[in-house]
Structure 1
Amino acid sequence: LMQYENEHYQSIRPCGFSSWPTLDPIYHPTEHLLEGSSEDDEQIDLADLISAENSPGFFIGYHAYPYYPDFIVQDPIYLAESDSLGPNNYLGYLKDLKAHYQDIPLIIAEFGVPSSWGSGHLSPSGMHHGGISEEEQGAYNIRMFDNIESSGCAGGVQFSLIDEWFKQTWITNPYSDKQYRYLWHNLTSPEQSFGILAYAPPPETFTETGAYPDSSITSIQVHSDYTFFRVRVHMKTAQYTEDTLWVAFDTYESNLGESVLPNGRSIGVAPDTLRAEFVLQIPMKGDLAQLYVLPSYDVFGIKKLERLDTVVSTSSDAGLWNPVKWQTSYFYNSIQYIGELNISTSEDPYQFLNAVTLFNDSVEIRIPWTLINFPAPTVGRAMHYESHMDGPDLVIDRKDTLSDGIAVSILLQDEIYQTGKYQWSPWDYEKIVNEPPIERKKQSFHHMKQMLPQFNSPPIGLADTFRLTTGSILEPGPEAGLLQNDFDIDGNEMQVRLPFGSSTEHGQLFLHPDGSFLYDPDPGFLGDDFFMYYLEDGAESSTLVPVHLHVGYPLSAEDELSSVSSSIFPNPGKDRFCISIPEPFQEASLRVLDMLGKEILFLPLEEASTWVDIQNTKQGIYLFILSIDQNLDQHRIIMQ
């Protein structure tokens, strides 16, 4: 592709190569202490890619995150690094990587943290692979932007704009069915929640599954959506601030599950009573609720589900429960207590990580499907894994089962409330198209929008050339004025400013902030005039931008219709350039100006193809202006 562009367009541009820390050229001793780790087995040094003569050069990109691989969070040199917000191993790694690529532009082509409930990796800096709020996500993204800048890198690309439901994550793969993954948002999966735009399920009506007139709890309602299983318990919450609300979930097969809650109280009030696979303990004046799981149904420590094991619900009356937790590293045995769920009040009812919200007249509970072992809620399939060995071969008997619905049992004080089974209709791609999720700006979006201006880049102005005939006035409007080819990479509004003491030498100039201007050349003047301007975007200013004004004789009709196209090769280049004029001409010349408008070279041209030597120039952008039989052709050339 580069060769094609060079041959057909006589233009080449900087090229980038991308890698990731696993293949970086740095030796990481802590990784070699881990038996079975292959994260530092191979190295690729992108600095070995050598630019060819007259190449524009190249930059290097790395997808680098603050929590992975393990050497980024374990190397003592990285751990000793800090920024204004505290310990920062990520900054340590970036400095080490940049030190290796000292003379090459280094872009962090992917970085970010996800606002998921689950975490796949932990970091001493707090910038984990999930398990953080939307507010923290925004603050950490800005922190990483600052780390990228302070470590000397050339820039960064924050990942990502939107949440991606189709993504897999190693820590949730054993508990999700890849066939249906794209149809629901697994909020516990870090890889699905990197976006600063989320997609919330459309609001729907709750279904009443239990009514208890004149009781402490008057009714129980439930609802299922693309993200949560929800329960709404109608009660006067202010009357029970000293109590604990126990909510048990029977997720499949009523004859399976535990009948005794963690507090020793039985929910078995009849021979055919509902049992439960999960139970949620809600202290009514606490900050955290605790989710428990039946031990035989606990997925803690399962790295790969295809193994000789059983993960099933069993019938039990022993009252044994495990707190729901995840193992986030098998090398360092780190644990996330993901079953510790946030409780909020009506003052902050839907803060992102909250699982329980206490209103004056109700308690609302929302549980991500993965936390109650539903690998495919789209079709109502609950986990039920059984396998056996047939000689040397592992045979998987079943991975899941079709749930007959979810029933809820609630204990408040000494009263037990039970509901019937709630079954929901399966959903598919067509349902999502007809009832699409609602796009929502996360809190991270608003935080980043507020903070990103601190990383403002100055506007970029490009040289301009205008022509007019003697005796006329040049007055381009805003659309055809100085701003037409200028840009601001941050999208800020730009205004044109004239430097103090700068104006045209051979006429009057009136310049406006919107880029429009009026130029009235002196009577009888023929030739070239110049002026300089700069741009402001409200925060920074551009470098000075030259404007070339050519005042000539009126053209004949024949000249007006003719066009002259020239080419200059190579671009970028160094010292030597080929000027090509494909059409016959009578008179031609070349002027080379630097970006301050200073003339570097003037050369008459006699041949259709002329090699020009330009020595002792600094690197940068230069203006090559060709005057060809009353026509002007302008090129911006990068000199290396």
Structure 2
Amino acid sequence: MRKMFKSRLAKLGLAMVIAVGAAVYWFWPPTASVESAEIRKGIQVKFKANGSQIEEYSNQSWKPYFAKGVNMGATIPGHFPGELAISTDDYERWFEMIQQMGANVIRVYTILKPEFYETLVRYNAKHQDHPLFFIQGVWSPEEELIAGKDAFDPKLKEKFAKEIEDAVEAVYGNATIQSEAHSGKASGKYVFNAGPYLMGWIVGTEWDPVMVRETNKKHPDAADYKGAYFQSKPGANPFEKWVAEMVDRTAKTEAKHGWQHPIAFSNWVTTDPIEHPGEPLVAEDMVSVDPTHIEPVNWDAGYFASYHVYPYYPDFFTYDKSFQTMKNKKGQIDSYQTYLHKLKEYHRDIPIMITEFGVPASQGIAHMGMLGRNQGGHDEKEQGEMDADMFRQIHEEGYSGAILFTWQDEWFKKTWNTLNYDIPDRRAYWYNTLTNESFFGVLGMFPSKDEKLRIDGDTSDWDKLGTDEKAKIDTNSKGLNELWVSHDEGYLYLMAKLSEPFDPSKQAIYFGMDTLQGGNRHAPQLQGKTLDEGLETLLELSDEQKGKMMIASNYDFHTRAFGKTADPALDSKQLQDDSGIFKPWKLVVNYLLERPDSRVSHPFKDVEVGDLLRGNNDPSQPDYNSKAMWQAKGNILEVRIPWMLLGFSDPSSLRVINYEKTDRRQFKTTPVEGIRIVPWIVKKDTKEVIGFDGNPPYPVSKLPLYTWKSWKDTDVQYVERPKQSYYIMQKAMHEVDQPVKK
């Protein structure tokens, strides 16, 4: 009995030790530890600017350092950034994946919730030999600055100064930030000191040029700024003096913690100090915010320049001949290469990083760039190849860092050429592949059926779906034995079992979509047949390689928004109900610009985005294509259609854009019950239509609806997996170590 009691006591003691150990691990912050140099008494430095390079203190000496990084957003699908929904588990998994990709630094834009800093400290405690560093951004009061057009407004300065102080104290684990209703800001108790893992600071956001110009006009006599650690140089404009003060405020707050890190302010091409003589839009070359007009005076860690540089925006990258003077390593004239070279030359005396670059993998496109580097329209492989090329160019030009935009896809984002077609407060709830801005990530955030339904011409995955995940639609259509339909946050899925194998050289298959009263009841594609209810959109599969989504001309958002600017041949017939015309699905990529907004006349330009590629979207297969939207094998046809191409402004609430006349670029929405799907087949040699029985008009109105329940934020599901671009960037990052000295 005594032996049994001792044994139980021993087990209880062991359990208590384990419990206490777990409590210490989770509630007692581990000490962040990196090798650093004591530059002056009580001041530690891990990174510093030296001439035109950033250096790292390692193995008791200073070595050149190249920041290979990724920007990281603040949210996941189903949530907006202010909700700060990323979990500790997400961060732990992501930090490991980021290091495996070859990155050594993460850049964040604003104060994140305490879990980010806690998880980073714990992660690095396990990876002391190769910690993952981060660049902390400080978000400026961007909306108030743009609205007020005066950076010297005392309330704005006070607000920004408070944000700077909160950011520094949060990084050093010395802050309690109160939650503010609807602020979208992180809050909580910050007790983990992540300061030793900091690589540097980037203060502010991309500066609005009109705001900068107006600030300069309002304060022409602003005194030069002379701070304890930073000052403006003679010749600095008033806004640059204001920036110098904000940078100095950052240094003052950090100095209290016994550390110094390199500091920069955020900048972009729009407010760079370089002339863009071929830039058509005046605002894009209106004013400069010049990093060389600010200097450190007692800040041993130094100062660097930070720029966001994309290959397609502003438009001078495409049109300005003065930036088409250099060739890249492939022998191609490359405006991006020319710009990188000019920008580095201008900043030859200080380190400079490109802290945003990249292209998105998306169906939608927002700008056109040289060498096909468009803002969108790429599959994952193309995205990776372009991102890797730019990464190498930045490195080879002697920059101190290249921070890719971005780590994870962000569903909540908007883009200028689709924002009038969706519902702002529901963007985070669905996957809109026409909004390219959402898909810059190398970590894909895919809709929930990404792993369940493969577009490959095989029905086995449909067989595994539950009865609540699919519906059989009886269309009474000859030539089509069965039609199954499903959906998720990104697509409407169709699987048709045909009566004979599909051969696009001999047949064309059509799927008409009816969501509203109105639309085309006749059309050339119907070969003389008529319907009793009109179609808003139409999918045509008649080409071996791609299908085409089209939209009824009187429903077409693009035509209604831009009229004869987009289509000089537009006539009143096209805007009438049942026009019989289906137009290609298009997005604008350039507005028509004229003086005084433009230096020169700049033509309107649009692109077709309704092409649906044939292929295989199974990432485990060698022929994987992330943009594959349909496949046919034998008698089986599979299709997935992006929601917006069907007219949906928000599938999560079953809302579509309606036919109402509104302001030319604004559209109203209507809730619908679902979609009616109208299939038919046309033999190409005889023009015979297969699929309609009886006398016209064909009763579309009596066809069954495919419908679904609306969903909210808590219903959103998604699949996280690295894109092909992740592995391509992994190869590029592992090839690069030290910076190139120029």
TM-score category, normalised to shorter length: 0.5 to 0.7
Aligned to 1:324: 585
**Which residue identity lines up with residue 272 of structure 2 in the other structure?**
D
Aligned to 2:266: 18
Deviation at 1:333, TM superposition (A): 2.3
1:58-81 deviation line (CA, Å, top 9, x unaligned): 011001111101122222122232
Deviation at 1:140, TM superposition (A): 0.7
Equivalent runs, 1:1-16 vs 2, <5 Å: 1-7=250-256, 9=258, 11-16=259-264
1:355 aligns with 2:629: yes
Q: In structure 2, do the counterparts of structure 1 residues 295 and 396 end up closer, same or farther at CA, with 3 Å as the change threshold?
A: closer
RMSD over equivalenced CA pairs, Å: 2.9
The normalised TM-score by structure 2 is 0.55
1:475-504 deviation line (CA, Å, top 9, x unaligned): xxxxxxxxxxxxxxxxxxxxxxxxxxxxxx
Please tell me whether the aligned partners of residues 211 and 218 of structure 1 are also in contact (alpha carbons under 8 angstroms).
Answer: no
**Which residue identity lines up with residue 262 of structure 1 in the other structure?**
P
Please tell me whether the aligned partners of residues 407 and 443 of structure 2 are also in contact (alpha carbons under 8 angstroms).
Answer: yes
Please tell me whether the aligned partners of residues 210 and 420 of structure 1 are also in contact (alpha carbons under 8 angstroms).
Answer: yes
42-51 or 352-361, which deviates more:
352-361
**Which residue identity lines up with residue 260 of structure 1 in the other structure?**
H
Please tell me whether the aligned partners of residues 89 and 125 of structure 1 are also in contact (alpha carbons under 8 angstroms).
Answer: no
SS at match of 1:26: coil
Q: In structure 2, do the counterparts of structure 1 residues 211 and 110 end up closer, same or farther at CA, with 3 Å as the change threshold?
A: same
SS at match of 1:141: helix
Aligned to 2:312: 67
SS at match of 1:258: coil
Name which of 9, 17, 27 aligns with 2:275: 27
Deviation at 1:189, TM superposition (A): 0.8
CA distance in 2, matches of 1:326, 1:265: 29
Q: In structure 2, do the counterparts of structure 1 residues 28 and 211 end up closer, same or farther at CA, with 3 Å as the change threshold?
A: closer
CA distance in 2, matches of 1:398, 1:174: 7
Q: In structure 2, do the counterparts of structure 1 residues 241 and 41 end up closer, same or farther at CA, with 3 Å as the change threshold?
A: closer
Q: In structure 2, do the counterparts of structure 1 residues 368 and 54 end up closer, same or farther at CA, with 3 Å as the change threshold?
A: closer
CA distance in 1, matches of 2:363, 2:500: 26
Name which of 221, 225, 235 aligns with 2:484: 221
SS at match of 2:424: coil
Q: In structure 2, do the counterparts of structure 1 residues 16 and 118 end up closer, same or farther at CA, with 3 Å as the change threshold?
A: same
Highest CA radius of gyration, 1 or 2?
1
Name which of 207, 210, 232 aligns with 2:474: 210
CA distance in 1, matches of 2:392, 2:623: 32
Deviation at 1:385, TM superposition (A): 5.2
Q: In structure 2, do the counterparts of structure 1 residues 398 and 74 end up closer, same or farther at CA, with 3 Å as the change threshold?
A: closer
SS at match of 2:317: helix
1:330-368 deviation line (CA, Å, top 9, x unaligned): 143232211222122698786211222113332111111
Please tell me whether the aligned partners of residues 95 and 152 of structure 1 are also in contact (alpha carbons under 8 angstroms).
Answer: no
Deviation at 1:329, TM superposition (A): 0.7
Q: In structure 2, do the counterparts of structure 1 residues 319 and 30 end up closer, same or farther at CA, with 3 Å as the change threshold?
A: same
Please tell me whether the aligned partners of residues 135 and 443 of structure 1 are also in contact (alpha carbons under 8 angstroms).
Answer: yes
Aligned to 2:328: 83
Aligned to 1:480: none
Q: In structure 2, do the counterparts of structure 1 residues 245 and 91 end up closer, same or farther at CA, with 3 Å as the change threshold?
A: same
Q: In structure 2, do the counterparts of structure 1 residues 210 and 141 end up closer, same or farther at CA, with 3 Å as the change threshold?
A: same
Aligned to 2:540: 281
Aligned to 2:199: none
CA distance in 2, matches of 1:168, 1:58: 33
Aligned to 1:340: 611
Q: What is the percent sequence identity of the aligned residues? A: 27
SS at match of 2:344: helix
1:40 aligns with 2:285: yes
Q: In structure 2, do the counterparts of structure 1 residues 425 and 104 end up closer, same or farther at CA, with 3 Å as the change threshold?
A: same
CA distance in 2, matches of 1:301, 1:320: 12
Q: In structure 2, do the counterparts of structure 1 residues 315 and 334 end up closer, same or farther at CA, with 3 Å as the change threshold?
A: closer
Q: In structure 2, do the counterparts of structure 1 residues 348 and 378 end up closer, same or farther at CA, with 3 Å as the change threshold?
A: farther
CA distance in 1, matches of 2:502, 2:660: 46
Aligned to 1:421: 705
Aligned to 2:430: 184
Equivalent runs, 1:142-541 vs 2, <5 Å: 142-203=388-449, 205-210=469-474, 215-235=478-498, 238=501, 240-253=503-516, 255-268=517-530, 273-283=532-542, 286-300=544-558, 316-330=577-591, 331-344=602-615, 351-384=625-658, 386-387=660-661, 399-413=668-682, 414-416=689-691, 419-432=703-716, 436-457=717-738
CA distance in 1, matches of 2:731, 2:299: 42
SS at match of 2:648: coil
1:107-148 deviation line (CA, Å, top 9, x unaligned): 001111100111110101211101011000111110011110
Please tell me whether the aligned partners of residues 301 and 326 of structure 1 are also in contact (alpha carbons under 8 angstroms).
Answer: no
Q: In structure 2, do the counterparts of structure 1 residues 286 and 398 end up closer, same or farther at CA, with 3 Å as the change threshold?
A: closer
Q: In structure 2, do the counterparts of structure 1 residues 212 and 296 end up closer, same or farther at CA, with 3 Å as the change threshold?
A: closer
Deviation at 1:386, TM superposition (A): 2.8
CA distance in 1, matches of 2:711, 2:642: 17
**Which residue identity lines up with residue 442 of structure 1 in the other structure?**
K
SS at match of 1:300: helix
CA distance in 2, matches of 1:72, 1:395: 30
CA distance in 2, matches of 1:348, 1:230: 23
**Which residue identity lines up with residue 710 of structure 2 in the other structure?**
P
Q: In structure 2, do the counterparts of structure 1 residues 211 and 387 end up closer, same or farther at CA, with 3 Å as the change threshold?
A: closer
Please tell me whether the aligned partners of residues 231 and 366 of structure 1 are also in contact (alpha carbons under 8 angstroms).
Answer: yes
Deviation at 1:202, TM superposition (A): 2.6
Aligned to 1:92: 338
**Which residue identity lines up with residue 114 of structure 1 in the other structure?**
P
**Which residue identity lines up with residue 405 of structure 2 in the other structure?**
F
**Which residue identity lines up with residue 603 of structure 2 in the other structure?**
Y
Please tell me whether the aligned partners of residues 258 and 314 of structure 1 are also in contact (alpha carbons under 8 angstroms).
Answer: no
**Which residue identity lines up with residue 217 of structure 1 in the other structure?**
L
SS at match of 2:273: coil
Deviation at 1:372, TM superposition (A): 1.8
Deviation at 1:212, TM superposition (A): 5.2
Gapped regions of structure 1 (runs ≥ 5): 306-310, 389-393, 459-640
Q: In structure 2, do the counterparts of structure 1 residues 345 and 325 end up closer, same or farther at CA, with 3 Å as the change threshold?
A: same
CA distance in 1, matches of 2:397, 2:322: 15
CA distance in 1, matches of 2:560, 2:339: 30
Please tell me whether the aligned partners of residues 237 and 358 of structure 1 are also in contact (alpha carbons under 8 angstroms).
Answer: no
CA distance in 2, matches of 1:266, 1:197: 48
**Which residue identity lines up with residue 415 of structure 1 in the other structure?**
I
Gapped regions of structure 2 (runs ≥ 5): 1-249, 450-464, 564-571, 592-601, 683-688, 693-699
Q: In structure 2, do the counterparts of structure 1 residues 13 and 263 end up closer, same or farther at CA, with 3 Å as the change threshold?
A: closer
CA distance in 1, matches of 2:382, 2:666: 43
Equivalent runs, 1:561-640 vs 2, <5 Å: none
Please tell me whether the aligned partners of residues 613 and 627 of structure 2 are also in contact (alpha carbons under 8 angstroms).
Answer: yes
287-296 or 157-166, which deviates more:
287-296
Higher relative contact order (CA 8 A, sep 6+): 2
1:595-630 deviation line (CA, Å, top 9, x unaligned): xxxxxxxxxxxxxxxxxxxxxxxxxxxxxxxxxxxx
1:201-241 deviation line (CA, Å, top 9, x unaligned): 3335321112659x521011112210011221112663534
1:120 aligns with 2:401: no
The normalised TM-score by structure 1 is 0.63
